[in-house]
Structure 1
Amino acid sequence: MWRTKDLHKKFRFCGDLDCPDWALAAISLLTKLTSIKMRQLAQEVAKTLLEMSEASEAAGKICQDAKLSLEDSKIVIAAVEFFLSSAVKYNVSAEVFSNELQQLGFPKEHAASLSKVYQSTPQFAQVFLQGGFRISRLTELKWRPEMNLRSPSEQEATDFRIAVSMKLEKDGHLRSHVFSMSLEKMLILKHEISEILHIMDSLPKVPSV
């Protein structure tokens, strides 16, 4: 069971923020694995993180052995990836990582399994610094204004939106995404991106590896 008093605590491996709700929800699924299976799954996930590749068949087999559905298996693998990559991102010690996982509701043996894999993979930091935690790369972005009319015979616009199309590259494959958003949301997004860029520019530069 989760320890309710700790759910709203700030965690160092999350950058002194709350642990995301979806990751909290995944803990009950993760505890369906034995501590040995947890370590094996963490090792498989660590391997895919280092290789910047998709989840392996072995990881899926481990979840299948624990009687998890395909959807629950995806959640479990994503959660392990989140816990490991966040610990690397915020450079916490294995001891702090293990303790905080237990505070979230992980059994001690499961927390130890995750922290041991984290501790035994020192090349994590170098790979993540080089990859910048990048999942995909934006190769093309286009946008155009779009107006919806009340009816074909009326010329008054009822909704002014921005139509966006983009192409993302991952593992040598291009994927196209098309969507639209209101002008208000586009302006909010523009403001938030400007704030993020400002924060990034103010951070100390990380030496190249």
Structure 2
Amino acid sequence: MKFHLCGGLDAPDWILANIVTLSTIPSTRVKVLVEYIIHRIAEGTFDYDSALKITTDASLGVSDAKACIAALHFMVSNAAKFDVEDSTLSRELQQLGLPKEHTDAVVRPYWERREALQTKLLQESLQLPSLEVKAWQIQSGDTRHVVMRLKSTADDTEQEKDEAEDFVVSMTVEKFRVLHHGNVLIFGLSQDCRPIGNNMF
């Protein structure tokens, strides 16, 4: 079964394995753990000793306690990452086997802080500079290739832009057509891959 929580993929085995253990912790304590985790993601601090005490007081060993904390972190961070609605998250967690009261303990604090979580996760995500096409052409041989010269547009000053190193990308015409048709490449190129104007090397 595919889950929005998992980015449209199957749930990882380790999550499934820890659902039963997580269910043995009282739901009130699960809610506190989720709040600790949300604070960790949004603010960067985590009261690890208190979190371990909450779980070990529930008769869990340290390794099981750490696994439960990791599972809850996965649920909260992935829900924010994939912008999962509260109703969808509630349904999917119950499909994974988490009891209703435990599901509510996860969903409510997540939904209340969803925007803050998403903002923080976006700030910490890998962001690559955008590229502009300086020139391109089709090279013929045994197979035809589209060759493009690209330059990063992330530099701050015009001087740095002039000094920035160009990137040369080469791909088969067939691969280019697939990417261009799927809007992966938006460079103002015609569908038959012919040069526009004088944009030649």
1:66 aligned partner: 58
Kindly state the Cα deviation for residue 63 of structure 1 after the two structures are TM-superposed: 0.6
Selected match of 1:131 from 101, 120, 124: 124
Contact 1:45-1:59 within 8 A present in 2 as well: no
Q: 1:34 to 1:76 in 2, by over 3 A?
A: same
Whether contact under 8 Å (2:21, 2:64) holds in the other structure is: yes
Alignment TM-score, normalising by the size of structure 1: 0.58
Task: Please name the residue that 1:56 is paired with.
Answer: 48
Q: Name stretches of at least 5 consecutive residues in structure 1 with no aligned partner.
A: 1-8, 135-197, 205-209
**What is the distance in 2 between the residues matched to 1:102 and 1:85?**
18
Contact 2:37 2:46 in 1 (8 A): no
| Stretches of structure 2 lacking an aligned partner (at least 5 in a row) | 128-178, 187-201
Equivalent residue, structure 2, for 1:102: 94
Equivalence for 1:194: none
1:37-186, aligned counterparts within 5 Å?
A: 37-53=29-45, 56-121=48-113, 122-132=115-125
Residue 60 of structure 1: how far off its partner (Å): 1.0
- Counterparts of 2:33 and 2:91 in 1: how far apart (Å)? 20
Deviations 1:104-129 (A, max 9, x none): 10101101110001101130010000
In the alignment, the residues of structure 2 paired with residue 20 and residue 10 of structure 1 have an alpha-carbon distance, to the nearest angstrom, of 11
**CA 133–107 in structure 1, closer or farther in 2 if over 3 Å, else same:** farther
Change (3 A) 1:90 1:44: same
Match of residue 22 from structure 2? 30
TM-score by length of 2: 0.60
1:19/1:133 CA distance change after superposition, 3 Å: farther
Residue by residue over 1:131-152, the C-alpha shift from the partner in whole angstroms, topping out at 9 and shown as x without a partner, is 1189xxxxxxxxxxxxxxxxxx
Secondary structure of 1:123 counterpart? helix
Once superposed, which parts of structure 1, at least 4 consecutive aligned residues long, lie more than 2 Å away?
51-56
Shift of residue 52, structure 1, vs aligned partner: 3.1
What fraction of aligned residue pairs are identical, expressed as a percent? Answer: 36
C-alpha contact (below 8 Å) 1:33/1:66 kept by paired residues: yes
Question: What is the rounded CA distance, in whole Å, between the counterparts of 1:101 and 1:47 in structure 2?
Answer: 21
Q: Give the greater-gyration-radius structure (CA).
A: 2
- What count of residue pairs does the alignment treat as equivalent? 130
Distance 1:15 1:60, change over 3 A: same
